[in-house]
A and B are shown apart, each in its own frame.
Chain A
Amino acid sequence: MIHFENVFLRYDTGISLRDLNFTVEKDEFLYLYGDSGSGKSSILKMIYMDLFPNSGTVKVLDFDSNHIKRRDIAHIRQQIGMLFQNFYLLSDRDIYSNIALPLEIQGEKADVVRRKVTLKADELGLRSRLSHYPHELSTGEQQRVALARATVNSPAILLADEPIAHLDPTAAAEIVKYLWKINEAGTCVIFATHNDNLLKNDPARTLTIISGEVVGDRIS
Chain B
Amino acid sequence: MKLSYVIREGIIGIKRSRMPFMNSVFSVTIALLIVGLGVLAVDNSLEFIGEFQADYDLEIFLENEATLFQKNELAAIVKDYPGILRMDYLSKEDAAALYNAEFGEDVLSLLDDNPLPSSFRITFEDDHRSADYILSFIHSMEELNGVDEVIFKQDLFKRVQGIMKLIYTVATITLFIIILSTVFLTANNLRLMILARYEFIETVRLLGASDFMVKAPFFLEGGILGFLGTSLSVFLIVMAEYSIKYFVHFDLPIKILDHPEVILGMILFGVSLSSLGVLKAVRKMLRFVA
Contact = CB atoms under 8 A, between A and B. Distances in A.
Contact of A71 (B5, B207, B210): B210
B199 A106 contact: no
**How many of chain A's residues touch chain B, expressed as a range?**
20 to 34
B110 interface: no
B204 A101 contact: yes
B47 to A, nearest CB: 51
Nearest to B5: A104
B211 A70 contact: yes
Nearest to A75: B208
A77 B199 contact: no
A164 interface: no
Interface in A59-103: 70-71, 74-80, 82, 88-92, 101-102
A102 B208 contact: yes
A14 interface: no
Interface residues of B, number: 18
B199 A102 contact: no
B207 A107 contact: no
B1 interface: yes
B208 A107 contact: no
Contacts of A48: 206, 290
B199 A105 contact: no
B200 A102 contact: no
A196 interface: no
Contact of A74 (B16, B200, B202, B208): B208
Interface string B88-124: 0000000000000000000000000000000000000
B208 A90 contact: no
Interface of A: 45, 48, 50, 70-71, 74-80, 82, 88-92, 101-102, 104-107, 149
Interface of B: 1-2, 5, 16, 199-200, 202-211, 213, 290
11 contacts: A50-B290, A74-B209, A74-B210, A77-B206, A78-B207, A79-B208, A90-B199, A101-B204, A104-B5, A105-B208, A107-B5
